[in-house]
Structure 1
Amino acid sequence: MELRVLRYFQAVVADLNISRAAERLHVSQPTISRQLKDLETELGVTLFDRHGRHLQLTDSGEYFAHQVTQILALTDKTLSNIHTTQAVRGTVVIGCAESRNFLNVAQTIRTLQRQHPQIQVSLVSTNADEIRAHLKTGTFDFGVVMDPTDKSEFDFLKLPGESRWGLLVPRSSALATRDHLTLADLENQNLILSQQRGIREQLRDWYGESTPKFNVVATYNLLYNASLLVSAGVGYALCIDGIINTNQSDLVFIPLTPRLTTGTSLVWHKDQHFSPAAAAFLKQLAADNQQPLTS
Structure 2
Amino acid sequence: MELRVLRYFLMIVQEKNISKASARLHVSQPTVSRQLKELEDELGTTLFERGNRTIQLTPDGAYFANQARQILSLTDKTLANIHQEKDISGSVYVGSAEARSMLTVAQALGQLNRRHPHIQVNLVSTDASDVHQHLVSGVFDFGVVMQPIDKSDYDFIRLPGESRWGLLVQNSSPLAQQATVSLKDVANSLLILPQQGGSARIHDLFGLTQADLNVVATYNLLYNASLLVSAGVGNALGLDGIINTNQSDLTFVPLTPRTSSGSSFVWLKGQRLSAAAQALLTQVQAELAPTAN
- Give TM-score scaled by structure 2 length: 0.68
Partner residue in 2 for 1:246: 245
Q: Deviations over 1:202-256 (max 9, x none)?
A: 3323444645522011000111111011011111000000111000000000000
Alpha carbons 1:286, 1:292 under 8 Å: kept = no
Unaligned runs of 5+ in 1: 1-84
Q: Does 1:280 align with 2:268?
A: no
Amino acid at match of 1:127: D
Counterparts of 1:211 and 1:247, CA distance in 2: 32
Matched residue, 2:145:
145
- 1:246-265 correspondence to structure 2 within 5 Å: 246-265=245-264
The whole-number CA distance in structure 2 between the counterparts of 1:252 and 1:158 is 29
Residue 181 of structure 1: aligned partner? 181
Determine the structure 1 residue equivalent to 2:117. 117
List aligned pairs for 1:198-237, cutoff 5 A. Answer: 199-208=198-207, 210=209, 213-237=212-236
Q: How far, CA to CA, are the matches of 1:206 and 1:178 in structure 2?
A: 22
Partner Cα distance (1:208, 1:134) in 2: 30
Q: CA shift at 1:137, angstroms?
A: 0.8
Q: Is contact 1:204–1:212 with CA below 8 Å preserved after alignment?
A: no
Deviation digits for residues 34-53 of structure 1 (CA, Å, limit 9, x no counterpart): xxxxxxxxxxxxxxxxxxxx
1:209 and 1:224 map into 2 onto residues whose CA distance is: 24
- 8 A contact 2:199–2:210 mirrored in 1: no
CA pair 216-241 structure 1, distance change in 2 beyond 3 A: same
Q: Distance in 1 between matches of 2:213 and 2:123?
A: 35
Q: CA deviation at 1:160?
A: 0.4
Q: Distance in 1 between matches of 2:100 and 2:210?
A: 31
Root mean square deviation of aligned Cα: 2.0
Contact 1:144 1:267 in 2 (8 A): yes
Q: Which amino acid aligns with 1:121?
A: V
User: How do 1:1-295 and structure 2 match up within 5 A?
Assistant: 86-197=86-197, 199-208=198-207, 210=209, 213-290=212-289
Q: Is the CA contact (8 Å cut-off) linking 2:170 and 2:229 kept in structure 1?
A: yes
- 2:250 counterpart letter in structure 1: L
Amino acid across the alignment from 1:106: A
Deviations 1:66-113 (A, max 9, x none): xxxxxxxxxxxxxxxxxxx93111111101111121011000000011
Q: Residue 170 of structure 1 contacts residue 230 of structure 1 at CA under 8 Å; is this kept in 2?
A: yes
TM-score (norm 1): 0.67
Name the stretch that deviates more: 283-292 or 177-186: 283-292
Separation in 1 of the partners of 2:136 and 2:150?
A: 14
Secondary structure of 1:179's counterpart equals coil
On the 8 A contact 1:155/1:293 being kept in 2, the answer is: no
Conserved? CA contact 1:126–1:222, under 8 Å: yes
The answer to whether the 8 A contact 2:167-2:255 is kept is yes
The letter for the 1-side match of 2:127 is: N
How far apart, CA to CA, are the structure 1 residues paired with 2:190 and 2:151? 31
Task: Read off the aligned partner of 1:165 and give its amino acid letter.
Answer: W
Q: What SS does the corresponding residue of 1:247 show, helix, strand or coil?
A: coil
Shift of 1:188: 2.3
Distance 2:257 2:98 in 1: 23
